[in-house]
A and B are shown apart, each in its own frame.
Chain A
């Protein structure tokens, strides 16, 4: 699962070609987005999942760390989903409420996805915009560095990072974010190159606006479309990466949890008559990932319409 770079390229070409004012661009895009059923459905799902993450705790009858001694030890028989004892999604192996834990896991996974992709987008945008704007030797070196970094098996480095710094949530954000800014920086650089020679930039240069201000004030805002699409498509990838890390046992600390941790726990016990432990977290995981893909694709298609 990766972001389709060709389509991203097409999108950035188009956005670079658009009129800078771009009011109509966004208005058109909104109209097109609203007509894309899959994207709208994805948006609705994301909103629902978001509400679940924020307000789920108020519905939960149990906290995410309480042990239910009444079902503990007989999970397969008593720990199933039930409205009577308040475990709507059943319990985990220790008798903790799976509903509360899914709410909690949703928060962490969404946060990892969003923060991770935000880091990737910020670093990638600044790096790419700088390289593209400054140009020349610096651009050459910066892009060569990206080439080199691209050939590093990042998952290996991420595992090493987590081994070295211990399992901290901060490290997870940072590690996941830092490994995925490379593609972003290439796309942004390409677009910056085409923006650079636009009149409004040249005008700014002529009036002596410092380079950094130009990048920040004039280039970055024009990159917004690409960035938004890329970020949306990156979130599910981040969530997938986190789930793999959790599977390896290097994810977040108990009593915190994540979809990846819940799913890998559930997958281990599929043969022990506690299928709900896999089913509920997996459902949220799959539904959310697809919603992100649909929304991302929808956004891109809305901003980069092809004659179909």
Chain B
């Protein structure tokens, strides 16, 4: 197991390098640069700027010095657009925000999703089951960019219960709508997956045996059925995590949370090379880490899998 983890982490390095190279080349190949403006800069001013940010160097040198900066000093360079700040500062400010609302959404989606799914499966073909299925059907495909404005309209403008945006250091009233907007569709997907795999498990032989032994239903479900039923949910978590990061773009845009999701889209559009690379590397590293965690979880739950 340990050697498996070590191997996976070793792959992470070439993966991140590949990611850096792809992003770096794509970014530089895109028309326009960080200093392209509607009022063209005089050539001399542009030259001064490019000299200051090292853009006058050949591409390979920019790339190697960038990678070296990260490896040697953990320095992701200065932002080309937010000139008062370094990429490290931008990420240090935005990432905790994204992490906070992201992990709360994630935890909620799993907890409620699984509970809903299990309940629906146990009460198969009752009104509860239909309700759970019905709700999850709608919620699953409702894009969060539709959900967000509806939430603001209802809870901020009509009911005046919640602030329409902002973060204020993560106070809970500011967190509710971002979390709801981000987690709902995952919650619904998890509920659906849990329900169907639970149904399958409940019909399997070893549950029948457990029941036949006269174990109380509660015990049957919690001790014997839940664990195997969660396998598909766990394999869903990896991709769900990545999709959630994408969803944070919408959250940051609508709720002014100041997370890193928006930084990525902005930096790509503004050609803020350093911020774009920094965020991409961060998300790439997180994805690798998360996939690893999912695999470990999977192995822990399913004793048949050996690494």
**Touch between chains A and B, by CB atoms below 8 Å:** yes
Interface residues of A (CB under 8 A from B): 1-2, 4-7, 144, 147-148, 150-157, 159-161, 163-164, 236, 240, 243-244, 247-248, 260, 263-264, 267-268, 270-271, 278, 282, 285-286, 289-290, 306-308
A271 and B197 form a contact (CB under 8 A): no
Find out whether the CB atom of B283 lies under 8 angstroms from the CB atom of A1.
no
Q: Is the interface of B mostly helix, strand, loop or mixed?
A: helix
* B26 contacts the other chain (CB 8 A): yes
If A159-B265, A271-B153, A271-B157 are given as contacts, then 4 extra A-B residue pairs at C-beta distance below 8 Å, sorted by A number, are A151-B288, A153-B287, A240-B143, A264-B145
A263–B29 alpha-carbon span in the complex (Å): 31
Inter-chain CB contacts under 8 Å: number? 124
CA distance A260 to B142 in the complex (A): 11
Residues of chain B within 8 A of A5, CB atoms compared:
232, 235
B90 located at the interface, meaning its Cβ lies under 8 Å from any Cβ of chain A in the complex: no
The 4 closest A-B pairs by CB, nearest first: A164-B30, A160-B26, A6-B232, A151-B288
Q: How many residues of B contact A (CB 8 A)?
A: 56
Q: Could you tell me if B145 and A267 are in contact, using CB atoms closer than 8 angstroms?
A: yes
**Nearest A-chain residue to B282, judged by Cβ:** A153
Of the 9-residue stretches B60-68, B70-78, B245-253, which lies at the interface with chain A? B245-253
Using known A-B contacts A5-B235, A164-B26, A236-B141, determine if residue A153 contacts B153 with beta carbons closer than 8 Å: no
**B193 contacts A160, C-beta separation under 8 Å:** no
Contacts of B189 in A (CB 8 A): 1-2
Does B236 interact with chain A (Cβ within 8 Å)? yes
CB distance from B87 to the nearest CB of A (A): 15
Central interface residue in B138, B157, B242, by most chain A CB within 10 Å: B242
Partner of A153 from the list B30, B200, B280 (CB cut-off 8 Å) is B280
List A contacts of B140 (CB < 8 A).
1
Which of B8-16, B171-179, B212-220 is the interface stretch?
B8-16
Rounded to whole angstroms, the CA-CA distance of A101 and B239 in the bound complex is: 33
Chain B min CB distance to A243 (Å): 6
For residues 152 through 189 of chain B, which have their beta carbon under 8 Å from a beta carbon of chain A?
Answer: 153, 157, 185, 189
Give Cα A304 to B53, complex, Å. 59
Q: A160-B27, A163-B268, A286-B141 are in contact. Are A6 and B240 (CB under 8 A)?
A: no
**Contact in complex: B265, A247 (CB < 8 Å):** no
- CB of A243 within 8 A of CB of B143, answer yes
Residues of A within 8 A of B49 (CB): none
> Which residues of A are found within 8 Å of B245, using beta-carbon distances?
153, 155
Instruction: Kindly identify which residue among B27, B193, B268, B291 contacts A151, using a CB–CB cutoff of 8 Å.
Output: B291
Which residues on A sit within 8 Å (CB–CB) of B243? Answer: 1-2
Q: Are A270 and B11 in contact (CB under 8 A)?
A: no
Q: Give the complex CA separation of A236 and B31 in angstroms.
A: 32
Contact indicator B284/A152 (Cβ below 8 Å): yes
Q: Which residues in B have their C-beta under 8 angstroms from that of A240?
A: 141, 143
Give bound CA distance, A152 to B288, whole Å: 8
Residues in A with CB closer than 8 Å to B30 are 160, 163-164
Q: Which residue of B lies closest to A160 (CB)?
A: B26
B14 cross-chain contacts in A, Cβ below 8 A: 148
Closest residue of chain A to B157, judged by CB?
Answer: A271
Q: With A and B bound together, what is the CA distance between A151 and B239 in angstroms?
A: 10
